[in-house]
Structure 1
């Protein structure tokens, strides 16, 4: 795994969580839609209730998945932070934290650090080289347990 892939894990997990939250929003909208069909034909009184129950069960399942994903994201961010904290100089750590833990855009990072965007890219590359050394080191495996 490359340093960039390692660092981007949190962003992708965060995107998956947000996607599931959006799915819950859609299911809630679906569950609250009430459609009444008037007909003189007999129908099952349980038909709409079972659909509602199925939707509620799906919502609960997704909420449980989100809870597990959030726990995984918190643990992953902790692990990434342990790696980032070993990086020198402080500018490298700042760039890595803003990009991979706060999910800031490059332009935001440059603005917040009061520096040139090209400099941020250059320092980012150097910071990733330091991350690669750490994740490739045999000590990393021992420290993460």
Structure 2
């Protein structure tokens, strides 16, 4: 695994968690809009589910929430590990740039502005940082 792939793990996991949270919102909206069971006295198939439709939505929400909790716990451990490895770099600019890019998720334009450097200089610092970054085995 390259340094860039290793560092991008946290960004990708964070994006995945956000997608799953949006999915929870979808299921919550759906659960509140699903109609209840109809008890109109008409005969129904014995194979027909007896639970109200919103129950399936709530079960799905619970399943996704457990998955998100696991991913958040892993993300916390991963970010701690990445931060510790960034601290191993000798160059302060490289540390700052990697944190801005991979921990804080800033764009290149934002990084250039915050560090007061040109695009070319930001990419040079980034390349050096990746070359010096201690990737775990």
Task: Report TM bin, short chain.
Answer: 0.7 to 0.9
Alignment coverage as a number of residue pairs = 133
Separation of aligned partners in 2, 1:42 and 1:99: 62
Separation of aligned partners in 2, 1:67 and 1:36: 30
CA contact (8 A) 2:37 2:52 kept: no
The one of 114, 118, 121 equivalent to 1:119 is 121
Separation of aligned partners in 2, 1:34 and 1:52: 6
CA contact (8 A) 2:36 2:54 kept: no
Query: How do 1:71-82 residues align onto structure 2 when only pairs under 5 Å count?
Result: 71-82=73-84
Task: Determine if the alignment matches structure 1 residue 53 to structure 2 residue 55.
Answer: yes
TM-score by length of 2: 0.87
TM-score by length of 1: 0.83
User: For structure 1, which runs of at least 5 residues remain unmatched after alignment?
Assistant: none
Match for residue 19 of structure 2? 19
Measured on the aligned residues, the alpha-carbon RMSD in Å equals: 2.3
Query: How do 1:22-101 residues align onto structure 2 when only pairs under 5 Å count?
Result: 22-35=22-35, 42=42, 49-101=51-103
Separation of aligned partners in 1, 2:66 and 2:55: 17
| SS of equivalent residue, structure 1 residue 104 | coil
- The structure with more helix, counted as a fraction of residues: 1
Deviation at 1:37, TM superposition (A): 10
